[in-house]
Amino acid sequence: MNRSGIYIFIYFVVYLLVQVMLFKQLVLFNTTFCFFYVAFILLLPIETNMLVLMGIAFLLGFFVDIFYDSLGLHAFSLVFIAYLRNYWLGTITPQGGYDAGEGPTLAVNGLQWFLVYSVPLIFVHHFILFFTEAGGFSIFWFTMMKVITSLMFTMFVILFLQYFSFDRRR
Amino acid sequence: MQRLLNFFYEYRAFFTFLLLEVLCVWLLVQNNQYQGTKFFNSSNRMAAGILGFSQSTREYFSLREINEELGRENAQLKTIIERQSQTGVAALTGRDTIIRYDYVSAKVINNSVAQFKNYLTINRGKDAGIEPEMAAISIFGVVGKVKSVSEHFSVLISVLNIDEQVSSVLKRTGNFGTTQWDGTDPRIVNLLYVPRHVEPIIGDTVVTSGYNGIFPQGILIGIVKEVKLKDEALFYDLRVELSQDFRKLSFVKIVKSRLKPELDSLETITIGAPK
């Protein structure tokens, strides 16, 4: 537990720095964001305690917020999907269940499962994030476009990195 | 009692969830207030350090643009000097404006244009005499106002923030309005509350009115690009192209208004404390 705790801490810092130093600058057409840090919460081991999960989500969101000057915004969305995550994992358990000690990754469970797992959660995250920031539904379609395009961009980056680590694992 | 504790224990995940979300909402509300969150923003030393590092790395790739911008700024300043020397010292009417405002130059280390609520971080803070509510301008026009300061850094609310309103005036007709961004295109803002009887045309200049004492009077905001008047509307829909391209912003000037305390205290006596 202690060792995996250190790993989680290192990954936490790496995800945070990559998000705020690289992906914060990478905004396409002024509408398309990459909130790649969401993957950190999605990829934590399946048996992670929900309280721990939400605690980590809050901290990660909080630190991201400091850099985006949007205190509470990212933390709110991330805690929300951290709460949903384990219920969603329970709902879409593949036949034969999950392997003990494995993360809910593409390498373990396959592309189709991974998409079913991650796309709705990331959609919920982006949806809450953008509509909270916009302060309601007054510019609905523009905000919706931001949600959808950012979802695609974030998914693309996460899948890319998943394939990248997939090769290393084999 | 035992059953109550059991109940809480049973649903501990949900209650933790609720607690954290309430905390987040509280932070959100705090942050939206004008001078909220003194410490937890990008002006704190570590965050600003990291952002400054990543900005200085990126700067190498945009040196050409920064050079161009500085060149243009230089040219503009030279024209101003030229104009003043031609009119002669005696005709220098700007005496009171020189006394009224001080300027602090600062570099932008963090900037975004794609969020709904955009903020900028600059590399000057309390040590340079910057305080909240000061105006930020560039040589091309308005940029925003100071939200919070730390020792060496400050966070500015950009004009590209859906909550930010700037009191402005149509220069040709002299009518007042409010400039506010709608959250979509970072090049365009809206000029609101210009009544029907005015006849704005495309190409009109929009400048600050200087009414709230934050921005000096007559700072350029932009040029009217689109004029629309719906049949039953009370006000025009005016789209204004910003004179400052926020995507290329690298230097700003903070305006220190020396007479603001005086103006504020006078207005407080006459019309009561501001909200």
Residues B130 and B252 in one domain: yes
Residues in chain A closer than 8 A to B110 (CB atoms): 67
Q: Between chains, do B183 and A134 touch, taking CB under 8 Å as contact? A: yes
Indicate the residue of A73, A79, A133 with minimum beta-carbon distance to B17.
A79
| Predicted local distance difference test score (pLDDT) of residue A36 | 86
Question: In this model, does residue B264 exceed pLDDT 80?
Answer: no
Residues B178 and B232 in one domain: yes
Residues B77 and B52 in one domain: yes
The pLDDT tens digits for B86-124 are: 665 544 455 555 566 778 888 888 888 888 888 888 888
Q: Which amino acid is at A97?
A: G
Q: Between chains, do A133 and B116 touch, taking CB under 8 Å as contact? A: yes
Question: In this model, does residue A170 exceed pLDDT 50?
Answer: no
B111 touches chain A (CB under 8 A): no
Q: Between chains, do B30 and A72 touch, taking CB under 8 Å as contact? A: yes
Residues B178 and B65 in one domain: no
Q: Between chains, do A30 and B113 touch, taking CB under 8 Å as contact? A: yes
Residues B216 and B132 in one domain: no
CB atoms within 10 A of CB B78: 10
Residues B132 and B253 in one domain: yes
Q: Which of B43, B32, B34, B31 is nearest to B109 (CA)?
A: B43
| Predicted local distance difference test score (pLDDT) of residue B17 | 85
Residues B70 and B152 in one domain: yes
CB atoms within 10 A of CB B177: 24
Residues B176 and B85 in one domain: no
Average pLDDT score over residue span A36-55: 85
Cβ neighbors of B112 (< 8 A, separation 6 or more) are A24, A27, A68, B118, B119
- Collapse the DSSP code of B171 into the 3-class scheme (helix H, G, I; strand E, B; otherwise coil) and give the result: coil
Number of alpha helices (DSSP H) and beta strands (DSSP E) in chain B:
6, 12
Average pLDDT score over residue span A134-150: 84
Residues B120 and B179 in one domain: no
Q: Between chains, do B20 and A79 touch, taking CB under 8 Å as contact? A: yes
Measured CA to CA in angstroms, residue B76 lies from B62, B79, B95, B215 at distances of: 21, 5, 20, 20
Owning domain of residue B217? 165-247
A54 touches chain B (CB under 8 A): yes
Complex prediction ipTM: 0.76
| Predicted local distance difference test score (pLDDT) of residue A123 | 92
Indicate the residue of A58, A79, A139 with minimum beta-carbon distance to B184.
A139
Residues in chain A closer than 8 A to B121 (CB atoms): 69
B155 touches chain A (CB under 8 A): yes
Q: Between chains, do B184 and A27 touch, taking CB under 8 Å as contact? A: no
Minimum CA–CA partner of A30 in chain B? B114
Which of residues A168 and B76 earns the better pLDDT score? Answer: B76
**Domain ranges, ordered by start, for chain A:** 2-169
Question: Residue B174: which CATH number?
Answer: 2.40.10.350
Q: Between chains, do A134 and B162 touch, taking CB under 8 Å as contact? A: yes
Residues B50 and B135 in one domain: yes
Minimum CA–CA partner of A56 in chain B? B20
B162 touches chain A (CB under 8 A): yes
Residues B185 and B136 in one domain: no
In a domain, B86, yes or no: yes
Question: Residue B95: which CATH number?
Answer: 2.40.10.340
**pLDDT over 70 for what percent of chain B?**
88
Residues B120 and B138 in one domain: yes
CA angle B132, B244, B73 (to 5 degrees): 95
Which of residues A2 and A132 earns the better pLDDT score? Answer: A132
Cβ neighbors of B158 (< 8 A, separation 6 or more) are B111, B113, B118, B119, B120, B143, B144, B164, B246
Instruction: Tell me the pLDDT band of A167, cut-offs 50, 70 and 90.
Output: very low
| Predicted local distance difference test score (pLDDT) of residue B258 | 74
In a domain, B214, yes or no: yes
The number of distinct structural domains making up chain B is 2
Average pLDDT score over residue span B269-273: 72
Which of residues A170 and B104 earns the better pLDDT score? Answer: B104
| Predicted local distance difference test score (pLDDT) of residue A122 | 92
